[in-house]
Structure 1
Amino acid sequence: MELSNKISAATLARTAVLLLALTNQVLSAMGKPVLPIESTTVEQLVTAGITTVAALINWWKNNSFTAAAVAADSYLARLKQKQ
């Protein structure tokens, strides 16, 4: 029985998107936006949308970072395959 202790690419991608959205949100609040949009209102709406989508996806998905959590995910996947 071999267990993979690697964090999935999907988990890393969702985490990166969340960090980008949060960074852009903070910089936008400080008046230094990452997104090159001239209109302040449009910029804030886009940033809020990105942050909201990234937060909801990260909240909904099971992001396993610890070795124990990754092992538990593998175990659950094997149990589901047996059904």
Structure 2
Amino acid sequence: MKNYDKGTVIRTVLLLIALINQTMLMLGKSPLDITDAQVNQLTDALYTADSLIFMIGTTLAAWFKNNYVTAKGHQQKAVLKQNNLTK
């Protein structure tokens, strides 16, 4: 079994949760078991906004942390290639 980086695992799990949550919202399903009588329009709007922010945040964190998108990242990738440390 491979030794996975703890941060990578956490970011991946959070990303999956965010994507599942957003998919459920897009399909009109509430991830929480709350009846319509319990939820008013403001609470619903806040929950949707929070879900969107959570999804965007975890997506950016997972993409940024696991890819070489900065100048420093490109330098690191070049060093890894020079030392034959890439897959």
| TM-score normalized with structure 1 length | 0.62
What is the aligned partner in structure 2 of residue 72 from structure 1?
none
* Runs (4+) off by over 2 Å: 35-40
SS of the equivalent of 1:61 reads helix
Name the CA distance, whole Å, in 2 between partners of 1:17 and 1:41: 22
The answer on whether the counterparts of 1:17 and 1:54 sit within 8 Å (CA) in structure 2 is yes
SS of the equivalent of 1:33 reads coil
The answer on whether the counterparts of 1:24 and 1:35 sit within 8 Å (CA) in structure 2 is no
Matches within 5 A, 1:1-83: 5-35=2-32, 38=39, 39-62=43-66
Fraction of identical pairs, as percent: 31
Cα root mean square deviation, aligned: 2.6
Answer with 1 or 2: which has the greater Rg. 2
Larger relative CO (CA 8 A, sep 6+): 1 or 2?
Answer: 1
Count the aligned residue pairs.
63
| TM-score normalized with structure 2 length | 0.60
- Give the Å deviation of 1:17: 0.2
Q: Which runs of 5+ in 2 are unaligned?
A: 68-78
